[in-house]
Structure 1
Amino acid sequence: MIKILRYTEYLYLAVAVLSIYKIVELWPINPKETYIFIFFAVVSIAMFFFRRNYRKRFEKRKRQNQD
């Protein structure tokens, strides 16, 4: 299960990278369309760090229970 949590972390980073790419691509054409991509990028980066912290706590608790 921990491997699945690790993969979801990187999915959030992938969404952030794609959103940032779309922001750079659309900003000169229509800046108002990029606001949704800015939102996605910020939320996905925040979710990456949240899920990473959650996974590390989960691993720590699992190690403590095994000892």
Structure 2
Amino acid sequence: MGILKYTQYVYILFAVFFIYDGIIKVNEGNDTSTLSFIIAGLAVFMFFFRRKYARKFDDRNKKQ
């Protein structure tokens, strides 16, 4: 269970990568940069979603 606490940070790494990819594509003039920014936004959302439920799960285990 200990490794699941750290997997949420993988989403932040994905977000940084896709933001970088989107900026590179904007500078090159590609039309696919929007998809990179959407995936980055989704990765940030997933980070906060996983973090919220990991904390809720830990709090529930501490009460038992």
TM over 0.5: yes
Q: In structure 2, what is the Cα distance between the partners aligned to 1:13 and 1:42?
A: 10
Please state how far the C-alpha of 1:12 moved relative to its aligned partner. Answer: 0.3
Match of 1:27 in 2: 26
Match of 1:16 in 2: 15
Please state how far the C-alpha of 1:31 moved relative to its aligned partner. Answer: 4.2
Stretches of structure 2 that go unaligned for 5 or more consecutive residues are none
Compute the RMSD of aligned alpha carbons.
1.1
* 1:35-59 Cα distance to aligned partner (Å, 9 max, x none): 1111110000000000000000000
The worse-fitting range, judged by mean Cα deviation, of 18-27 and 28-37 is 28-37
Q: In structure 2, what is the Cα distance between the partners aligned to 1:6 and 1:30?
A: 38
Greater than 3 Å deviation, 4+ residue runs: none
1:50 has 2:49 as partner: yes
Match of 2:6 in 1: 7
Q: In structure 2, what is the Cα distance between the partners aligned to 1:6 and 1:14?
A: 15
Q: In structure 2, what is the Cα distance between the partners aligned to 1:63 and 1:48?
A: 22
Q: In structure 1, what is the Cα distance between the partners aligned to 2:54 and 2:27?
A: 39
Stretches of structure 1 that go unaligned for 5 or more consecutive residues are none
Count of paired positions: 64
Which secondary structure state, in structure 2, belongs to the residue aligned with residue 32 of structure 1? coil
Aligned sequence identity (%): 33
TM-score by length of 1: 0.87
